[in-house]
Structures are given as C-alpha cells and as structure tokens.
Structure 1
C-alpha cells in the first residue's frame, strides 16, 4: 500500500524500521539473506543462531519477542535480558 505522496506505509519484506526495533518481526519476515544472532546481556557474548531450526521447532509465525525468554547464553548461562540481532550473509560475486 502506498501513501498518496508515494511513501510506503508497510515496509518491504526484510526492511527493518529502527523506531519499532526487531522484536515484532516474525521468523517468516526475515529475508533469505538475513542472519539471526543472539546477544547475552550479562557477558556480551554474541552467537549466530539457526533460524531455520527455530522455525521448524516453534513455527514461522513466532515473533522474536516471543522467543527472547528461551534464550540462554552458552558461555555464562544467563537467561535474562538477552536479545536478538540481525545481520546479512556475505555474498560473493
């Protein structure tokens, strides 16, 4: 849908609105070339996660905010305040 002045009212798939953050995104909303990572709030450990495995286990419609409570740091074991980050896969060619 477009605004009468040509402004997109709904972002295209894979486009993240910085004002909304990423918690509202579903696994299905991520583009194929986007990577999903997790960050520990306690020790700042970062790790990429298998988003396809998560989608297979919890469904493609689950949001990142719904998945946050199950995040557990593999380094320190922290389960509180952890969050997600999104990156892009590097493409050659």
Structure 2
C-alpha cells in the first residue's frame, strides 16, 4: 500500500518474506498437488549453498500438476554457479 505522496507504508522486504521450513522430505513421492497453497517451493544448491524460490504455479503448468518432484530435481540449476548436480527441493511458508 502506498501513501498518496509515494511513501511505501508496508515496505518491500516484509511483503515477500518467505519463512524457510526446510528440505522437502521424500520428493520422489510428492507432487505439486500434495503441497498446500500457502507453501513456497524452492531449490538449494549443493555446491555454493545458494537458495532460490521458484514460481511453483508456472512449473506445475509446464510439467503437470501430478509430476513427482523427484523427477524434476535433476533439472534444478543454480543461478549463481550453474551447478546441476545434487540440488534439492526446499519448502517455505508464504506470509499471510
């Protein structure tokens, strides 16, 4: 929400804070449909320890809502070091 003089009253950081919950347990048996709507989906790089959040709705639309996340783990690529080996899925909770 912005003030009429252009002052941001909420602040950009507080709107997009995602609470890290931890790694996704057993991604071989979890689909996009199994994850609640209020959870965010991201990736964790095994090489440089970078984490990044993905738009799970775009990914599920591209690969299908019933696709197992374990099959897509090999497609996770780190934007920092371009690593594709050993990257894992992580979960976060969206702000309410």
Q: Is the structural similarity TM-score above 0.5?
A: yes
Q: Counting strand residues as a fraction of each chain, which structure ranks higher?
A: 2
Residues 22 and 88 of structure 1: is their aligned pair in 2 closer, same or farther, counting only changes over 3 Å?
A: farther
Runs of 4+ off more than 4 Å: none
Whether the 8 Å CA contact 1:22–1:64 is kept in 2: the answer is no
Distance in 1 (alpha carbons) for counterparts of 2:91 and 2:26: 8
Unaligned runs of 5+ in 2: 1-23
Higher relative contact order (CA 8 A, sep 6+): 2
Aligned-partner Cα distance in 2 for 1:66–1:48: 18
Query: Which secondary structure state, in structure 2, belongs to the residue aligned with residue 54 of structure 1?
Result: helix
Displacement after TM superposition at 1:83 (Å): 0.5
Alpha-carbon shift at residue 37 of structure 1 (Å) = 0.9
Alignment: residue pair count: 73
Which has the larger helix fraction? 2
The aligned runs of 1:1-93 (5 Å cut-off) are: 21-23=25-27, 24-91=29-96
In structure 1, stretches of 5+ residues that fail to align are: 1-19
